[in-house]
Every structure is written in C-alpha cells, then in structure tokens.
Amino acid sequence: MSSLHTRPATEDDVFIMEQIMRDAFAANHAHFLPEAHVREWFDSNKPEQAIRKGLERAGIVEIMGRIVGFVTYEDNFIEELWVDPNYEEQGAGRALIEWVEEEYRSWGYPTMTIYCYESNTNALEFLKKMRFRRASQFLSDDVAGGPVVVYNMLKMVKNLKR
C-alpha cells in the first residue's frame, strides 16, 4: 500500500477536491443515473457548492503528496466521500472513514451515518467492508434538478462503541 496521509482540508484544496468529485461521479454514478441528471450536475456548480458547504469539517487523503480523496462531515453524518477513480482500492477511502471515525469517537458519538444510492453497488460493498450496516431505505428525488426521478437510497450506519 502507498504512503497515505490524512489532514484537514483547506481553501487551497477546493479546486482539486472538485475535480476528484467530478471524476469519481463520472466513473461511479453515471452508469445508474439518467443522462439528463448527470449532464445537469456536470454543467452546474453543485460540486463546488457541496465542497464549500462542508469545508469547515473536511478531510483530505494524500498518497505520496498527491490529494486523492476527501470527506466532508458534520454531527455524526458523512456528507461527501469521494476518491479519485485512479486511486481506488489503495486504502484512501478506508483512511478517510477511519479519520472521521476517530473524530466522532472523540466527540462522543455512538454511531456514524452515510447515505448511499442502492444502485451504487461498489460503494455499498466498500461500506459493508468498513462495518456499516443497512439501517433503512428511503426514496429521494434530490439529485441534480431537472425532471423528477425517484432513487432508492440506503441509510448506512456504523456503531462506534468499542
């Protein structure tokens, strides 16, 4: 495994974070979301908005000095978790989850939560490996605007008690 380093994100990281988000979205979401939603998402500034909204509580993972992923979070909820598709399966996602997990433990949270598209089987497999369990299922139509399309979402929860 490559040399991984996690740290808090800064304003200087936003451009790279946005590029990672766009690349990972194209690689991992475009195959199960309608083309109109994907196109609208890419043409909007939603990625930058999501990153800036969560920048106060955001972490970066680097491999050999290169930013390859990031996470944003608040309370006991992970808002965004993205890894550069060229660096998947190298421990970056695990490092980010573990980094947030330690933050949550230090704040006394008993659990941590993330939402995931039911169709995103790679993400679900990863979350299960990280000991998240399916807590509930719900419908969401808030993806990128445009025509209303309903998506099955899963609420995944991890127990933080040792």
Report the CATH number that the domain containing residue 34 is assigned in CATH: 3.40.630.30
The confidence score (pLDDT) of residue 155 equals 94
3-state SS class at 29:
coil
Reported pTM = 0.87
Q: Please give the mean pLDDT across all residues of the chain.
A: 88
CA distances from 123 to 29, 36, 138, 161 (A): 10, 22, 17, 23
Sheet containing 151-159: which strands, arranged edge to edge? 4-8, 58-63, 66-74, 77-83, 111-117, 151-159, 133-140
Q: What's the CA gap between 102 and 61, in Å, rounded?
A: 15
In this predicted model, what pLDDT tens digit does every residue of 8-28 receive, in sequence order? Answer: 999 999 999 999 998 998 888
Report how many domains make up the chain: 1
Please say if the pLDDT value at position 89 is more than 90.
yes
State the burial class of residue 50 (Cβ atoms within 10 Å of its Cβ: 0-12, 13-18, 19+).
middle
The confidence score (pLDDT) of residue 54 equals 86
Please say if the pLDDT value at position 87 is more than 80.
yes
Residue 149: give the domain boundaries: 4-159
Please give the structure tokens belonging to residue 144: 């990128």
The confidence score (pLDDT) of residue 113 equals 97
Provide CB contacts within 8 A for 142, sequence distance 6+.
none
